[in-house]
Amino acid sequence: MNCLNERNAILKINIPVMINKNLIIGLFSLLLFNSCFAQQSATSSTNILIEKRIDNLMRKMSLTEKIGQMYQSNYSNEDLAHIQQLIRQGKIGALLSPMDLVKVTALQKIAVEESPNHIPLLFGADVIHGLRTVFPIPLAQAASWNPGLVEQAARVAAEETSSFGVNWNYSPMVDIARDPRWGRIAEGFGEDPYLTGIMGVAMVKGYQGSDLTKATSIAACGKHFVGYGAAEGGRDYNTTYIPENELKNTYLRPFYALKQAGICSYMSAFNDLNGVPSTANPFTLRQILRDEWNFDGLVVSDQHSVLGLINHGIAADPAEAASKAIKAGLNIEMGSTSFLDFAHQLVKEGKISEKDIDESVRDILRIKFRMGLFEKPYKGTDTKVELLSNYNKEVALKLSEQSIVMLKNDKNLLPLSDSIKSIAIIGPYGNNPNEMDGCWTSHGRVEDVQAVLPAFQNMPGLNVAIRYAKGVDNCTSTDTSLFKEALEAAGKSDVILFFGGEHSEQTGENNSRAFLRLPGVQEQLLKALAKTGKPIVLTVFSGRPLVLENVLPDVTSVLYAWHTGIMGGPALANIIFGKVSPSGKLPVTFPKAEGQIPLYYNHKPSNQPPKKELGNYSDYRTTYNDFSNTPAFPFGFGLSYARFEYSDIKLSSQQLHFSDTLLVNAVVSNKSTYEGEEVAQLYLHNKVSSITRPVKELKAFQRIFLKPGESKPVQFKLSYNDFAFYDLNNQFTVEPGAFSLWVGPNSVDGLRTDFVIGK
């Protein structure tokens, strides 16, 4: 229990009214101080004990065994005998897990019983959005704006993952991504550092739990450190140029949030940053991570990225690559063997020191001790975890529902009314369980996925005739031979439900796209269906924002489902037929055309503000000669069946001191006959400062439930860290001056007020 929870617990104590008020305050303060002091003392004592254990262990370790701790091997059946021998020799510290409890336990047994100093192994895996219970992709989870629910999903993932013996997970990814052409945008939480940090911390809490030593807790790994999402042209693995000031104000912020949440590890990125590859970047790995942040966990390379230093052109051979990565502060090499093969020789030649090795190994052992692996090395052997339990599926369903964003709903077509007697389900996702999970789902099973067609057919109480026609064989198909069947089904139905998008293999790592329109002949099919005159509900499955301008005029309603995980079918059925009101909000800006990219809400003001078109997207940015500069849909946008209104914005003060807390109050009202959940968002702008600041920055949000006709107050608290930024001297500071503040439903609309921070 942390100090805040202690405080909340104390506040619940019933104190007799007759007790003196000052005495109550004094007793409360004493209790709170003693509680926090005791907690800090216990943590300090534990850390001291761990450091002593590290000292004792390292005095026993040979240089060979120390270097072995810095190597993570890939597991394969063909290499099994060789891997077992390396473990016995103390030459492996971690493994990419085989996801098999029997095999993992057997390998761990060799490490703790037969290796020179009985050091347990780390078993790592990529469980990005669920193991057997596959949740929506992380970008979709960000669209829920519900960190509590994201934490629940991560806890489910940790429990299922630990049951296979795995104790380390390469998630969350908190790369800021402002270019939807980049395939790995699907794996992160979008374009905003605040939202990304909140969601990343939620995942860390879910994975690591309240106690790292518990049987179902697994170590989290924040990736990719750092700037990977800013790859030029949205091309994966590509170069990034980010000035230090921008790096600290934007790209590092979510990583720092993970550090503050107690994350065990980070993964370095594939990209080079300002000319220095992230895998061997002493500025990020040593100066920032160790010296400025005091991070004392471990850093692992991405797969084979140490050898990638040769491709980058900063190392002539594997030995030089190993030398540069170790000196930069990388602890573990994943996959490739340059540390294992050359570190001993490099020490002997004086190109690196044994102190460099010792520093790295201390960081690795520290995490192993904190995880309790020396006492309980075998995950999954003493607990029973039910994979794909009813509870797990319920969490997946709720997260899918809250991740779906309604972008358009002309004539209030949705939810479908009782007057609708027949629907045509058309499109490559109409009955396609193979693609709904999205990228990074190697441990999921197709038979677990509840696809659209059966979900609609099995919906209780649904009295609607359903006609199904693919219309197109798959997302990328250019064959139009199935159009006729689709048009016939549409002609006999009251409403067309088109389920399309991009397939899962078009997203994720090494899946960048230059053009973001619906692939194949889907647009052509939609236009043919529009000629029937029947209303069309377009549901898009995707791992990124797609450009929908060509088809938006042809459809009545649009639901953006992302890649939904195993419960996507029931989630969509519940929304389309009104059992659940849409509540998702976009975590990333949707462009009208690829030529607008990068397009993001929190950009800097320009020298010549153009004519106003849409809120902050055009107030401060020059326009194109041949195209609009406004987005198709702005960051934070999302419609509901309910109609929400904002009113009565008030500040606790409009003249603040640096140390003051600002209370922001507003009222949100439901002016409809539908119940629903709204995400109230607060944005801030520093109007005059020593460096240019974003035209708006998300600083807080709340998800609230409102019944028809109900109004609720929302309150936000802003303090020093919310007003502060890194200045030209890279000092984190608050500058006096004028600020604007908005509370509203997205990054464009909302109530505005102003205040001043004085010296």
Percent of the chain with pLDDT over 90: 89
The span from the CA of 72 to the CA of 124, in Å, is 9
CA separation, residue 437 to residues 342, 443, 478, 504, 568 (Å): 41, 11, 23, 7, 9
Question: What confidence category does residue 658 fall into, taking pLDDT thresholds of 50, 70 and 90?
Answer: confident
pLDDT tens-digit readout, 500-548: 999 999 999 999 999 999 999 999 999 999 999 999 999 999 999 999 9
Q: What own/partner pairs with CB < 8 Å and gap ≥ 24 does 755-758 have?
A: 755/651, 755/653, 755/654, 755/655, 755/656, 755/662, 756/654, 756/655, 756/656, 757/656, 757/657, 757/658, 757/723, 758/655, 758/656, 758/657
Active-site positions? 302
Encode pLDDT of 602-614 as tens digits: 999 888 765 554 4
Tens digit of each residue's pLDDT (9 = 90 or more) over 402-447: 999 999 999 999 999 999 999 999 999 999 999 999 999 989 999 9
3-state secondary structure of 339: helix
Question: Which two structure tokens, joined as six digits, stand for 219?
Answer: 């170590």
pLDDT at 35: 52
Would you give the distance in Å from CA 38 to the centre of its chain?
34
Residues above pLDDT 70, as percent of the chain? 92
Position 295, amino acid = F
Cβ contacts of residue 458 below 8 Å, gap of 6+? none
* Across 39-53, 370-384, 421-435, 718-732, least confident range: 39-53
pLDDT band at 102 (very low <50, low <70, confident <90, very high): very high
When pLDDT is cut at 50, 70 and 90, the band that residue 42 belongs to is low
Tally of residues, the chain: 759
Residues β-bridged to residue 422: 465
Residues 173 and 184: beta-carbon distance below 8 Å: yes
Closest by Cα among 392, 501, 507, 499 to 441: 507
Element (DSSP H or E) covering residue 744: strand 737-744
pLDDT bin (cut points 50, 70, 90) of residue 204 is very high
Residue 45, pLDDT above cutoff 50: yes
Distance between CA 93 and CA 113 in Å, rounded?
14
pLDDT tens digits, 299-329: 999 999 999 999 999 999 999 999 999 999 9
Nearest to 489, CA basis, from 525, 442, 449: 525
Answer yes or no: is pLDDT of 619 > 80. Answer: no
| Model confidence pLDDT, tens digit, residues 673-688 | 999 999 999 999 999 9
Residues 742, 743, 748, 753, CA torsion sign: negative
Which residues lie closer than 8 Å to 211 by C-beta, 6 or more apart? Answer: 217
